[in-house]
């Protein structure tokens, strides 16, 4: 696939998921409405993807899972990228002891594997979707900060930045005007590449029961609820699983294309 095709395919997959999240609730049944008489029904015209162990419509729940699964991952990634950009650029531009302190902090956070750190944070904050998002962001900013620092440090010697400083622009202003925008593109690309892993991580922790509280729909949670009936109703595992795969593949195509586009 050409870079353009990858870019558009990746973006299209993610946009389609978002559109589905908006459109399905308008057409289909309530994702939380139970119907025990009709539980574990196979896919049919009235329930295109079947029903789950409480008789809830799987298509409606899959769509309701977009904001809690993919949406939450986008929030984690955006917050991580913003914090990483801020810390990385500050370290590079300030230099000296500020750089030393920030870089050591990044080193220490990187010494804890991302998902393990997220588990530790949820362990003290307690389970819940908000806490899970906070935990993943607390663990996710460090690699992006390291990347932003390296990238920004390289920019500081570029003629246009040096010229701005020679022209009398104060260093922080020059950094804000010339270093931050150029670094942001690269950080966004790298963060998008990591979006797939965030989706997988969030779904995994939700699968363990550390995320949304029932009956809220979330893809990892949907799989967890149906493990005991996976044999009778495999679609209960396959549908949320396929949506996760789609999200990861979309994010990876988009991120790859963006990363190659970035300088």
Partner 1 sequence: MRGPSRRIAQAAVTLVGAAVLVWSLQLLAPGDPARRVLVANGVGNPTPTQVAALRAELGLDEPAPVRLGRWLLAAATGDLGRSWRSGAPVAAELADRLPATLRLAAVALALALIAQHRRADLAARGLVFLGAAVPSFVVGTLLLEVVVVRLGIGRVLADGSWGGAVLPAVPLALAAAAVWARVLRAAMLEVRARRHVQVARARGAGRLRVLLVHVLPGASPPLFTAIGMTVGSLLAGAAVVETIFTWPGVGPYLVEAIVARDVPVVQGTVLLGVLAHVVANTLADLAAAAVDPGRAR
Residue from 103, 84, 86, 188 nearest 144 by CA: 84
Bridge partners of residue 57, in order along the sequence: 51
Is 86 in contact with 144 (CB distance < 8 Å)? no
Q: Does 119 bind partner 1 (CB under 8 A)?
A: yes
- Closest contact distance (angstroms) between CB of 253 and partner 1 is 11
Residue numbers 150-169 binding partner 1 by CB under 8 A: none
Looking at residue 169, the DSSP 8-state letter turns out to be: -
Say whether 51 sits in a helix, a strand or coil. strand
**227 touching partner 1, by CB under 8 A:** yes
Answer for which of 108, 162, 163, 173 binds partner 1 (CB under 8 A) is 108
Q: Is 126 in the site for partner 1 (CB under 8 A)?
A: yes
Q: Does 115 bind partner 1 (CB under 8 A)?
A: yes
Question: Which one among 248, 254, 257, 258 touches partner 1, defined by CB under 8 A?
Answer: 248
Burial class (CB in 10 A: 0-12, 13-18, 19+), 148: buried
Q: Is 109 in the site for partner 1 (CB under 8 A)?
A: yes
| Rounded Cα gap, residues 61 and 39, in angstroms | 14
Q: Nearest to residue 221, comparing CAs of 235, 234, 197, 202?
A: 202
Q: Name which position in 29, 128, 209, 215 contacts partner 1 (CB under 8 A).
A: 209
Q: Identify the residue among 1, 23, 33, 113 touching partner 1 (CB under 8 A).
A: 113
Element holding 67 (H helix, E strand)? none
Name the residues that contact partner 1, by CB under 8 A.
104, 107-109, 111-127, 196, 200-201, 203-204, 207-210, 220, 223-224, 227, 230-231, 234, 237-238, 240-241, 244-245, 248-249, 252
């Amino acid at each position: 696939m050409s870079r353009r095709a990858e870019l558009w395919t990746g973006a299209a997959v993610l946009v389609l998921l978002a559109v589905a999240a908006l459109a399905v609730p308008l057409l289909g049944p309530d994702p939380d409405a139970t119907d025990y008489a009709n539980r574990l029904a196979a896919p049919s015209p009235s329930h295109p993807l079947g029903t789950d162990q409480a008789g809830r419509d799987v298509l409606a729940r899959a769509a309701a899972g977009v904001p809690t699964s993919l949406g939450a991952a986008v929030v984690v990634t955006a917050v991580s990228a913003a914090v990483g950009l801020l810390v990385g650029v500050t370290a590079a531009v300030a230099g000296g002891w500020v750089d030393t302190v920030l870089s050591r902090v990044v080193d220490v956070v990187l010494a804890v594997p991302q998902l393990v750190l997220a588990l530790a944070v949820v362990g003290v904050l307690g389970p819940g979707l908000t806490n899970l998002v906070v935990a993943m962001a607390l663990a996710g900013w460090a690699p992006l900060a390291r990347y932003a620092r390296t990238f920004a440090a390289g920019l500081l010697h570029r003629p246009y930045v040096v010229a701005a400083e020679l022209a009398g622009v104060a260093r922080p202003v020059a950094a804000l005007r010339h270093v931050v925008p150029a670094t942001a593109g690269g950080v966004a690309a790298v963060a998008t590449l990591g979006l797939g892993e965030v989706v997988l991580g969030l779904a995994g922790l939700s699968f363990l029961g550390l995320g949304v509280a029932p009956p809220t729909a979330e893809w990892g949670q949907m799989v967890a609820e149906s493990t005991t009936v996976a044999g009778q109703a495999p679609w209960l595992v396959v549908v949320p699983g396929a949506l996760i795969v789609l999200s990861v593949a979309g994010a990876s195509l988009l991120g790859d294309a963006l990363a190659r586009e970035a300088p």
